Copies of this chain bind each other. A is one copy, B any other.
Amino acid sequence: MPSQSAANARKSTRPAPAGRAGDIMDAALTLFAERGYLGTSMRDIASQLGMRAPSLYNHLESKQELLQDIMLRTMENLVADHQMAVATTNDVAEQLRRAMEAHVRYHARHPREVRIGNAEIWNLEQPAQDRVRKLRRDYARSWQDVINRGVDEGRFQTPSPQLASYAMLEMGIGISLWYHEGGRLSESQLAYYYGDMALRLVSAESG
């Protein structure tokens, strides 16, 4: 039986690799996030693991494959968390709060993935780039749907539902740049504060 909360028990759509391939992925995540995809060489990744670059090719096809795995997995998991958050209530203000909380928690927990996701889309080859763009579009559209419904029901006020949704998405992305575990604010505090700010942004009375 499940021992975790619903949010934590979410099954990954695309599981992170384990074993040696997992070590390589982890080193790539750290280095791509710090120096960028083009600023990281296969020799850098191998060196982090005490290996030589050619040995990496026993575990992967190409450097590009690493980037595609990271970006597709990240967006799929973010969307999955989001859908669970909005599906667990019918109150539109509570949906918005939970969507923001899930957004913030994902960005706080996976800062490397999110930084890469936002910086490297232009370095993704097709068709992976279009798949990631579609996932982003779907995600943004779901936020707009929530805000539009809140406006229709007279619960939210905003000069532009579209701009409000952009602003909320963007607010979360910054978190991946400065948040780190063990800082002044816990992940939960962060989630509550940002949930509160999302509701204020559309002048909503909370649930």
Complex contacts, A36 vs chain B, CB 8 Å: 36, 38, 122-123
A: contact size bracket: 20 to 34
Is A16 on the interface with B (CB-CB < 8 A)?
A: no
Chain B residues within an 8 Å CB radius of A163: 190, 193-194, 197
Partner of A170, one of B123, B158, B171: B171
The interface residues of chain A, by DSSP majority, are classed as helix
Alpha-carbon distance A196/B161, docked complex (angstroms): 13
List 8 A-B residue pairs with CB atoms under 8 Å apart, sorted by A's residue number: A34-B122, A39-B122, A158-B197, A158-B200, A159-B196, A164-B197, A166-B178, A200-B201
Besides A159-B193, A200-B201, 10 more A-B contacts (Cβ < 8 Å) are: A36-B38, A36-B123, A163-B197, A164-B197, A167-B194, A170-B170, A170-B174, A173-B174, A201-B201, A203-B203
Chain A positions within 8 Å of B, measured between CB atoms, are: 34-36, 38-39, 119, 122-123, 157-160, 163-164, 166-167, 169-171, 173-174, 178, 190, 192-194, 196-197, 200-203
The answer to whether residues A197 and B122 also contact, given A38-B36, A38-B39, A39-B38 and a CB cut-off of 8 A, is no
